[in-house]
Amino acid sequence: MNYEEAKKKLDEAGQSHVLKYWDSLNDNEKESLLAQIESTDFAVIERSYKAHKENVKDNRVISPIQAMKLPEIEENRESFYKTGLDAIKNGKVGAVLLAGGMGTRLGANGPKGVYDIGVTHPIYIFERIVSNLMDVTSAADTPIHLFIMTSDKNHETTVSFFNEHNFFGYDSNYVHFFKQDMAVATDTEGKVYMDSKFHIADSPNGNGGWFISMINAGLLDIIDKDGIEYLNVFAVDNVLQRIADPLFIGAMLERGVSCGAKVVKKSAPDEKVGVMCLKDKAPSVVEYYELTEELMNTLDESGERAYNYGVILNYTFKTDILKEISSANLPWHVVEKKIPYINEDGNLISPETPNGYKYETLILDMVEMFDSCIPFEVVRNREFAPIKNKTGVDSIESARELLKENGVEL
């Protein structure tokens, strides 16, 4: 893309200010800015911004979905486990670690996975994840493919970290890193921020684009060649989660569903977690802020709260369906954030309070693209220890307590 083309694209998008410093840039800076302008879809940003401002509501009808609860899982434990483990042994299952996030709440200043949560000796978050996965690969006596999503902001550090630590004992031939895309950030008027004279402020575009990014990175070849039929996708920050859990995979296989979501019973009706439900009869996740007081307190026929099972960002998807829907458009979410930007004098300002919007797609919106989904209940204290904050709820402290409770030496 040359200057004229870039100018035309920006003028049409109402973002002409991006070229404000053009005359003061050197050749490399000009080239880098043109490349960013070329790869940016300003139309998506504009549409999402408008929808956000107009407060466009989701009018689909929400109704309860039946979860597979602990007693049913217990009754079928042996059979589910065997079915799931056989699938893993036969190479039908892959794992996808979502590690492209910024970890801003934790103030991680780098990949969250390199954070040391140990007390008497170092224990890195990535190490816990690999160790959890190896519980299963040891039982199956075979490694499975582990795909790790990073972003421009943390790719090199993540890859070097795994290399420095010898992949924490995992077979590195089975580990594949891929980068997610970035999305530009705007002010509250929908104008993109610049964070240098030749760069539009951007951040990872949410965890929804993971499969498209895998395809773009050429990883479909491995899925096809090795016959991977299920992908278990999970967040980096839950240090207790079971990965490629044979019980979970076995339940999906035996019930013949194309999607599974691990869920925990909510700690309170208004806990801030997405909840499994049906939207217009399709399995879906309703965000906590969409759950009205009335829905929150609705009871099912057994007297239990009808919207009582929160997702913990651990999903399993069937790959043949993923391939069909990979080009489908996920909705964009507009999130208020603190966005560093350069002021009139070209100085970088780091705001203390939110000053604009980031644009993201979310994995939870993929659930409704599958015709069948099992919300699969797990015991909260056994499988859910997310690290989002430095202290308090969902923090390093709370995760350490839960790890200790589960016999992990810190």
Q: State the binding string over 237-256 for ligand UTP (x if CB under 6 A, else -).
A: x-------------------
CA angle, 326 as apex, 129 and 126 as ends, to 5°? 10
Closest separation in Å from C-beta 3 to ligand UTP: 31
Closest separation in Å from C-beta 32 to ligand UTP: 22
Bridge partner residues of 360 (DSSP): 333
Q: What residues between 349 and 388 interact with ligand UTP by CB under 6 A?
A: 388
Q: How many Å apart are CA 340 and CA 84, to the nearest integer? A: 46
**Which amino acid, residue 13?**
A
> Near ligand UTP by CB under 6 A, which window of 70-78, 98-106, 297-305, 364-372?
98-106
Indicate the pairing of strand 199-200 with strand 194-196: antiparallel
Could you tell me how many residues of this chain bind ligand UTP (CB under 6 A)?
Answer: 20
Instruction: Report if residue 235 touches ligand UTP, rule: CB under 6 A.
Output: yes
Among 84, 94, 100, 356, binds ligand UTP (CB under 6 A): 100
Q: How many Å apart are CA 70 and CA 152, to the nearest integer? A: 40
Residue 250 neighbours by CB under 8 Å, 6+ apart: 79, 80, 81, 82, 83, 84, 85, 87
> How is the chain split among helix, strand and coil, in percent rounded to 5?
40, 25, 40
Among 64, 84, 94, 103, binds ligand UTP (CB under 6 A): 103
Q: How many Å apart are CA 7 and CA 190, to the nearest integer? A: 18
Closest separation in Å from C-beta 162 to ligand UTP: 15
Q: What residues between 107 and 166 interact with ligand UTP by CB under 6 A?
A: 112, 149
H-only helix segments in 258-395: 293-296, 319-325, 380-383
Closest separation in Å from C-beta 266 to ligand UTP: 18
Q: Which of 244, 236, 272 is nearest to 363 (CA)?
A: 236
Q: State the binding string over 300-329 for ligand UTP (x if CB under 6 A, else -).
A: -------------x----------------
Instruction: Report if residue 274 touches ligand UTP, rule: CB under 6 A.
Output: no
C-beta separation of 277 from 348 below 8 A:
no
Instruction: Report if residue 207 touches ligand UTP, rule: CB under 6 A.
Output: yes
Instruction: Report if residue 395 touches ligand UTP, rule: CB under 6 A.
Output: no
Q: How many Å apart are CA 310 and CA 81, to the nearest integer? A: 23
Please identify, using beta-carbon distances, which residue of 102 and 117 lies nearer to ligand UTP. 102
Residue 228: DSSP 8-state: -
Chain positions contacting ligand UTP, by CB under 6 A = 98-105, 112, 149, 180, 204-207, 235-237, 313, 388
